[in-house]
Amino acid sequence: MNKMNELILGTLAGVEKAVIKEIKLKDPAATAHRLSDERVLVENLSEERALTLSTVLFIARVLGVAELEAISVKRLRYAIRELLSRTFKPENIDKLAVRAHIPMHTFSENFLEKIVAREIKRVWKIDCSPRATRKLRAELYGKTLYLAIEVKGALHQRSYYVYKHPAPLSPIVACASLILAEVESKSSIYDPFVGSGTTLIETAKILENVYCIGSDISRKYILCALHNSREAEVEIDLFTADFKFTPIKNCDYIIADPPRGIRMKSSNIKEILEKLIKISEKIVSQKLILITPYVNIVTKIKTELVLEDIYVVKSSGTKLRILLYKSSC
């Protein structure tokens, strides 16, 4: 049956819970649940509100849903043909790109794309090309098939991100961290490794009346963050400093994406993480939000902070952890 008020939201693996929490913040009447890694299904959320979500990669409007008795070429072809026949042909589209998603690997994604493309040509008389800008998504979860037309894609690309960092943090990960940590409005948040400013810019954009403070050892990146914040039309306070000697004496939250990468020595990583945690013990009144791939190192560090939760997120081929530490004070 076709439910015209359903949307499929694409996101990063591990961010699904944050997407659902953000949806409820946008519209308490909406209902959402995780379909699989990287996918959330939402009902009763308008496309306009969906487009304001900060934790999604794309939004696709569900055209139809089919329950299959078995997974076979014949049954898939018939179900796709029926769904397309019952759906109005999209206007002003002369070409479509087909994208398949089958998280349980019960069928070939490439083969499903070919089947869907043939049926689109047969039923809608529209040609399909992988280079087309508009996308139709065919997603198979067990024996449930969804067809959805993409409303908007590449939502992770922020127009403010003009001055770049060599090891950038995805804005989706930054937003997910803030939402999962339940950062409160009218609080203060400090980023001691501000880089190009992503975490604080996203904080200022999604939360009201939060005092955002950032520092970096590199003056170059302070200027980058300043330029990007102006592009985003948000206010953040920035200064140059080695985080080990930060002048900040107190704040509600620290959010940190410390240096990472293949050029980092494990001894340096451990030293940075130990110092960050010790500083957080002294100045944080609410939570330390730590984003790092080095979970085996950080969880062995003794601390007065209370580790509340760990979330695993996959971003650009890297498995990051979002660790939420609560102040013991």
The pLDDT value recorded for residue 262 is 63
The pLDDT value recorded for residue 2 is 40
Band of pLDDT at residue 265, cut at 50, 70 and 90:
confident
Distance separating alpha carbons of residues 55 and 153, to the nearest angstrom: 12
**Fold of the domain spanning 171-326:** Rossmann fold (3.40.50)
The pLDDT value recorded for residue 203 is 97
The pLDDT value recorded for residue 90 is 85
Distance separating alpha carbons of residues 109 and 314, to the nearest angstrom: 21
Band of pLDDT at residue 252, cut at 50, 70 and 90:
very high
Looking only at the bridges linking them, the beta strands covering 39-43 and 31-36 are: antiparallel
pLDDT in tens, 288-314: 999 999 999 999 999 999 999 999 999
264 vs 198: which has the higher pLDDT: 198
Distance separating alpha carbons of residues 193 and 196, to the nearest angstrom: 9
The pLDDT value recorded for residue 264 is 67
Residues 71-98 have a mean pLDDT of 94
Q: Answer whether 305's CB lies under 8 Å from 312's CB.
A: no
pLDDT in tens, 204-227: 999 989 999 999 999 999 999 999
Mean pLDDT, the chain, rounded, equals 95
Taking Cα atoms as reference points, which of 7, 18, 9, 19 lies closest to residue 46? 7
Q: Where are the domains of the chain?
A: 6-152, 171-326
Residues 312-325 have a mean pLDDT of 94
Partners of residue 141 on adjacent β-strands? 144
The pLDDT value recorded for residue 29 is 95
pLDDT in tens, 38-72: 999 999 999 999 999 999 999 999 999 999 999 99
User: Other C-beta atoms within 10 Å of 196: how many?
Assistant: 24
Using left for φ > 0, alpha for ψ between -120 and 50, and beta otherwise, residue 56 falls in beta
**Fold of the domain spanning 6-152:** VC0802-like (3.30.2130)
The pLDDT value recorded for residue 76 is 97
Q: Please tell me the pTM assigned to this model.
A: 0.93
The pLDDT value recorded for residue 80 is 98
Taking Cα atoms as reference points, which of 327, 325, 29, 322 lies closest to residue 176? 322
pLDDT in tens, 107-144: 999 999 999 999 999 999 999 999 999 999 999 999 99
Band of pLDDT at residue 321, cut at 50, 70 and 90:
very high
